[in-house]
Amino acid sequence: MTAKFGLAKALKTVRKARGLSQEAFSDVSSRTYLSTLERDLKSPTLHKLTELCEVMEIHPLTLLTLAYAGDSARKADQLLAQVRQELDAILKERDAP
Protein backbone atom coordinates (compact mmCIF):
# COMPACT_ATOMS: atom_id res chain seq x y z
CA MET A 1 0.00 0.00 0.00
CA THR A 2 1.48 3.33 -1.00
CA ALA A 3 0.94 6.55 0.87
CA LYS A 4 -1.70 8.68 -0.83
CA PHE A 5 -0.92 11.88 1.01
CA GLY A 6 2.66 11.22 1.99
CA LEU A 7 4.37 11.59 5.34
CA ALA A 8 5.93 14.93 4.41
CA LYS A 9 2.58 16.48 3.51
CA ALA A 10 0.87 14.91 6.53
CA LEU A 11 3.52 16.31 8.87
CA LYS A 12 3.20 19.80 7.45
CA THR A 13 -0.61 19.60 7.45
CA VAL A 14 -0.79 18.64 11.13
CA ARG A 15 1.87 21.16 12.16
CA LYS A 16 0.00 23.99 10.45
CA ALA A 17 -3.43 22.79 11.67
CA ARG A 18 -2.05 22.92 15.22
CA GLY A 19 -0.70 26.42 14.62
CA LEU A 20 2.89 25.38 15.25
CA SER A 21 5.94 26.95 13.66
CA GLN A 22 8.96 24.84 12.76
CA GLU A 23 10.71 26.53 15.68
CA ALA A 24 8.14 25.00 18.07
CA PHE A 25 9.94 21.68 17.60
CA SER A 26 13.31 23.00 18.81
CA ASP A 27 13.35 20.69 21.84
CA VAL A 28 13.26 17.62 19.57
CA SER A 29 14.49 18.81 16.17
CA SER A 30 16.23 21.63 14.37
CA ARG A 31 14.18 23.80 12.06
CA THR A 32 16.41 22.69 9.19
CA TYR A 33 15.78 19.00 9.87
CA LEU A 34 12.03 19.54 10.14
CA SER A 35 12.12 21.44 6.86
CA THR A 36 13.89 18.52 5.16
CA LEU A 37 11.20 16.16 6.48
CA GLU A 38 8.41 18.41 5.22
CA ARG A 39 10.05 18.60 1.79
CA ASP A 40 10.36 14.80 1.72
CA LEU A 41 14.15 14.94 1.51
CA LYS A 42 14.62 12.73 4.60
CA SER A 43 12.59 10.17 6.48
CA PRO A 44 12.41 10.21 10.28
CA THR A 45 13.14 7.24 12.50
CA LEU A 46 10.24 5.85 14.49
CA HIS A 47 11.72 7.45 17.61
CA LYS A 48 11.95 10.86 15.93
CA LEU A 49 8.43 10.51 14.55
CA THR A 50 7.18 9.83 18.07
CA GLU A 51 8.96 12.94 19.39
CA LEU A 52 7.50 15.11 16.63
CA CYS A 53 4.01 13.77 17.30
CA GLU A 54 4.39 14.52 21.01
CA VAL A 55 4.99 18.18 20.13
CA MET A 56 1.87 18.15 17.93
CA GLU A 57 -0.05 16.26 20.64
CA ILE A 58 -1.16 13.43 18.37
CA HIS A 59 -0.48 9.71 18.27
CA PRO A 60 2.03 8.65 15.59
CA LEU A 61 -0.65 6.41 14.05
CA THR A 62 -2.76 9.50 13.47
CA LEU A 63 0.01 11.02 11.40
CA LEU A 64 0.60 7.76 9.52
CA THR A 65 -3.12 7.36 8.87
CA LEU A 66 -3.20 10.83 7.37
CA ALA A 67 -0.13 9.96 5.28
CA TYR A 68 -1.77 6.82 3.88
CA ALA A 69 -5.43 7.88 3.69
CA GLY A 70 -5.04 11.55 2.90
CA ASP A 71 -7.98 13.75 3.67
CA SER A 72 -10.54 11.02 2.95
CA ALA A 73 -12.38 9.94 6.11
CA ARG A 74 -13.71 6.89 4.24
CA LYS A 75 -10.19 5.75 3.33
CA ALA A 76 -9.06 6.36 6.90
CA ASP A 77 -11.91 4.17 8.17
CA GLN A 78 -10.96 1.43 5.70
CA LEU A 79 -7.30 1.65 6.66
CA LEU A 80 -8.04 1.49 10.38
CA ALA A 81 -10.36 -1.50 9.84
CA GLN A 82 -7.55 -3.25 7.93
CA VAL A 83 -5.10 -2.52 10.75
CA ARG A 84 -7.56 -3.93 13.31
CA GLN A 85 -7.99 -7.14 11.26
CA GLU A 86 -4.25 -7.57 10.82
CA LEU A 87 -3.58 -7.00 14.53
CA ASP A 88 -6.26 -9.51 15.50
CA ALA A 89 -4.79 -12.09 13.10
CA ILE A 90 -1.25 -11.57 14.36
CA LEU A 91 -2.30 -11.87 17.99
CA LYS A 92 -4.29 -15.06 17.25
CA GLU A 93 -1.33 -16.55 15.39
CA ARG A 94 0.98 -15.64 18.26
CA ASP A 95 -1.31 -17.27 20.81
CA ALA A 96 -2.00 -20.41 18.75
CA PRO A 97 -0.47 -23.65 20.12
CA torsion 14→15→16→17, rounded to 10°?
A: 40
Residue 88 lies in a domain: yes
Residue 1 lies in a domain: no
Q: Is the pLDDT of residue 67 over 70?
A: yes
Residue 50 dihedral angles phi and psi, to the nearest 5°: -60, -45
Residue pair 8/66 in contact (Cβ under 8 Å)? The answer is: no
Q: CATH code at 85?
A: 1.10.260.40
- Give pTM, 2 decimals: 0.87
Smallest Cα–Cα separation from 33: which of 17, 51, 18, 16?
A: 51
Q: Is the pLDDT of residue 19 over 80?
A: yes
Residue pair 63/53 in contact (Cβ under 8 Å)? The answer is: yes
Per-residue pLDDT band at 1 (split at 50, 70, 90): low
Per-residue pLDDT band at 58 (split at 50, 70, 90): very high
Residue 2 lies in a domain: no
Number of domains in the chain: 1
